[in-house]
Structures are given as C-alpha cells and as structure tokens.
Structure 1
Amino acid sequence: MSGVVDVQLFISAFVTLFVIMDPPGTVPIFLGLTGSMTRQQRTRAARQAILVAFGVIVGFALVGQSLLDYLHVSLPALQAAGGLLLLLVAMELLTGKMDGSDTQVATQGNVALVPLGTPLLAGPGAIVATMVLVQQAEDPPQWGAIALAVVLVHLCLYLSMRFANAIHRVLKDSGTMLVSRIAGLLLAAIAVQLLADAVLAFAREL
C-alpha cells in the first residue's frame, strides 16, 4: 500500500478534506434544499451534486492556479464570491422561498449544481486545500494519496446525502421544514465566516 500511495499524506489529506467538506454537516442543508423533492429526485440530486463537486475539485487541482492567475483572481476573491452565493441561498431557506412547489419545480435541477455541488461541497476551502496538496506533491505515491483521499471523501458525502432519505421519512414534511430553517441559519453562518475570512485575507495582503 505504501508503495502505491503515501499513507501519511493520504491520512492528512483525507482528514483535512473530510473536516472542510463535512459530510455529516451536509445532511440538514441537503434536506433543506431538497425537502420538497421526491425520493428519486433527491437521490438524483445527490448524485449530480457529488459529480459536480468532484469535477470542480479535480479541475481546480489540475489547472486551478493557472486559471486564477490568468483571470487575475485571488483566492480571497474566490472565497468572498462563494460566501455571497451561500448567503443568498441561506436567505431563501430562512424565508421559506424554497418550500413552495413552484420554486421546487424551477430549481430542483439547479440546486444539485448550485449551491450543493459548488460552493457548498466544492467550496473555496476544499478547493484551496486540494490545490495546496497538489502543489506540494512530488511523486506518484503522493499524487495517488491525494487522489484516493478526494475519492473517499466524495464517497462519504454521497453516502451522507443518500442517508438523508431515511431522515426525511422520519421527520416528515413538517420536520423537514424545521430542518430547512436550521440549515438556513447554519448556511448563513458559514457564508458570513467565508466573507470574514476573505476580508481578513485582503487586509493581510494590503
């Protein structure tokens, strides 16, 4: 195993990405965003969100730094943009704008992409952490360790969101509505923290 992947780097990368992407913490937010979907729609949304998140993480790992340099975009700017987007979604959850069937029909194909896939799962923190890990890797075992860590964390995320179906059956619609309000509050806190971190990063650069 150690000849194929760097075990120490794998453990470090897996723990780092697991903490940042927080599979258990995505369950209430996932329920809040998909509460009015059917079980099949929720399963499809989970699958799409994971594919989007995985694609974004891998894409930024390979060409992210070059892309940001070309566009003259700093990492704090990316972080602030993600925070603003999450704050808008949080306000919709808190005000109940995502509870109605009309809104659900209009957005059920989109919430899997934005904000679930990105910036919730593949957010600035996960993107930056992966980019840093890739830049520090020097040989195939280290690259293999990072790749395996990314795949396993996304598997954990998928299982967490699939488990949300069982939670929804227990909570029913009224419980899911309550969870969506709590998720909106948590998501707003995450968004504000992203914005605060971005402002502090900008201040340090100045």
Structure 2
Amino acid sequence: MNFDAVLDVALLAPTFTTLLVIMDPPGTIPVFLGLTSRYTPAGQKRAARQATAVSFGVIVVFAVLGQQILHLLQISVEALQFSGGVLLFLVAMELLMGGDAKEPDTGDERVNVALVPLGTPLLAGPGAIVAVMVAVGQANHGFGSWVAVLVAVVAAHAVMWATMRFSLKLSRLLGPGGIMLLTKIAGLLLASIATQMAMSAFFRFVHEAGIGS
C-alpha cells in the first residue's frame, strides 16, 4: 500500500508549521491569562477547551466552504483580514485600559472570551484561515492530501489547547500582580499584531486595485 496515498507528508509538514507559526503558542499565553484572569481554574480549563473547539470548527468550515462563503457574501480576503485586525485592536485596548484583576470571577456567562476573541480571531484568524484555504487548494482533491491537511489542523489545535491548558500553572505561579503585568504586555503585543494585520490588508488591497500606479 502506498503511504503517500493515505497521508501526503510533503503537504502535512508545511501546513502544520505554517499554522503553528501563525497561531503563535507562546504569544497566546499572556493573552489567554489576561482575558481569563477573573475565571476560576475550572473556568480557565473550560475556556481553553471552548477556544480550541471554536477555532477548529471555524477553520474546518472555511477549509471546506471558504471560497464559496467569501464569494457568496462578496467578501474579499483583504476585508476579512482588515476586520479581524480591527477586532483584535479593540480587544488590545481593553487589555491596556482595563482595571486590575484582583476581584474574583463573577461567573457572568454572558461574556465568553473563549468564543471571541480567543477562538476567533486570535486562533482562527484570517492568517490561519487563509493558510488552510491555500493548503486545501494544493491538495488537488487527492485523499492523502486531504488527510494531511486535516491532520495538520488537528495537530496544531492540540498544541494550542495544551499551551492554554498548562498556562494555568503559570497563572498560579505569577499571582494577580504578575498576571496584570502580562496583561499589559499582551495588550501592547496584540495591538501591534492587529495594526500589522490591518495595514497588510490595506496595502494588499491598494496594490491589487492598482491605486497610485
């Protein structure tokens, strides 16, 4: 039996690596801790699971139906990327301008940060979505290639779940003051990421539209 017919390793490796670089597990830790600082330990574990599940679901949907969805709604990839950057920037401002995190979690389930912004657009952001859509385009409808893309997506999300899950140990080690420091750093980094995302989308749109040429 031909192994490549079952799993296209040549496509698996770059897809997994690209997703991991875009999702940035180390950079997710301070953001996750900052956004869930008021949660109980059980709530943080649940948030890690939910964020991973939401991200996986969004990416799989766009992998299968991405081009059709964007075409149906007449949305360009640049518009998706720009709006994701704006949303992340608003989250970054919340992290930077928010008060301290000394008060315990109130248990208010109306605001679930695991869905937005953790699940999307932080994990399942425009970069990750486009990367998977490109990988699907390279699959050429071969069974082994499709399996490779699926395995890469599952593996990347397993890494992200483990990163968020075990960041709880860091949370207990740092205490409220340390978490507050990480929260401010995360806000600054997230603002930079959001600005870069929005600017890249804008300049790509200008380039493709031929404005100024």
Does residue 197 of structure 2 align to residue 197 of structure 1? no
1:4-43 to structure 2, matched below 5 A, reads 4-43=6-45
Question: Once superposed, what is the RMSD of the aligned Cα atoms?
Answer: 1.7
C-alpha contact 1:98 1:104 (8 A) present in aligned 2: no
- Name the SS for the 2:21 alignment partner: helix
Corresponding residue pairs, total: 206
Task: Give me the whole-angstrom Cα distance separating, in 1, the residues matched to 2:103 and 2:62.
Answer: 35
Task: Give me the whole-angstrom Cα distance separating, in 1, the residues matched to 2:96 and 2:109.
Answer: 16
C-alpha contact 2:41 2:168 (8 A) present in aligned 1: yes
Does residue 60 of structure 2 align to residue 58 of structure 1? yes
Amino acid aligned to 1:59: V
C-alpha contact 2:92 2:188 (8 A) present in aligned 1: yes
Q: Offset of 1:2 from its aligned partner?
A: 3.4
Aligned to 2:128: 126
Aligned to 1:167: 170
Amino acid aligned to 1:54: F
Which structure dedicates a bigger proportion of its chain to helix? 1
| More displaced stretch, 92-101 vs 193-202 | 92-101
1:27-106 to structure 2, matched below 5 A, reads 27-97=29-99, 99=101, 101=103, 105-106=107-108
| More displaced stretch, 1-10 vs 141-150 | 1-10
Q: Offset of 1:201 from its aligned partner?
A: 1.1
Task: Give me the whole-angstrom Cα distance separating, in 1, the residues matched to 2:170 and 2:159.
Answer: 16
Q: What is the TM-score with the length of structure 2 in the denominator?
A: 0.92
Task: Give me the whole-angstrom Cα distance separating, in 2, the residues matched to 1:100 and 1:67.
Answer: 43
Larger Cα-atom Rg: 2
| More displaced stretch, 3-12 vs 151-160 | 3-12
Q: What is the TM-score with the length of structure 1 in the denominator?
A: 0.95
Does residue 144 of structure 2 align to residue 141 of structure 1? yes
- Name the SS for the 1:110 alignment partner: coil
C-alpha contact 1:13 1:146 (8 A) present in aligned 2: yes
Q: Deviations over 1:62-99 (max 9, x none)?
A: 11110100111000000010001000000000012584
| More displaced stretch, 98-107 vs 21-30 | 98-107
Q: Offset of 1:3 from its aligned partner?
A: 3.8
Aligned to 1:152: 155
Aligned to 2:190: 187
Q: Deviations over 1:40-73 (max 9, x none)?
A: 0000000000000000000000111101001110
- Name the SS for the 2:6 alignment partner: coil
Task: Give me the whole-angstrom Cα distance separating, in 1, the residues matched to 2:104 and 2:166.
Answer: 26
Q: Which runs of 4+ in 1 moved over 6 A?
A: none
Structure 1 gaps, min length 5? none
**Cα distance change, pair 199–142 in 1 and its aligned pair in 2 (3 A):** same
Q: Percent identity?
A: 52
